[in-house]
Structure 1
């Protein structure tokens, strides 16, 4: 049997109700959970190092 996995060929992202950049900082999306973890812990580490 020649079973093959389905391959993801394209991902589409639609953004609605966007605000102007002048209205505040945005959040950049990431599809990497390890990177997200590092980004979340950075402010905590900064506060600890400031002590």
Structure 2
């Protein structure tokens, strides 16, 4: 019998992590715009782009 597949894909897991990062920045006192900019920088750095 095959193993059941994980209902959360790697892409969905990454999206959840980025959302948690965004919320953490907001909780730390950054504005929504600042938090989004920092999440974008983290995402670009993780794929090898320039921030």
> With CA pairs under 8 Å and 6+ residues apart, which has the higher RCO, 1 or 2?
2
TM-score (norm 1): 0.35
TM-score (norm 2): 0.35
User: Which protein shows a greater Rg?
Assistant: 1
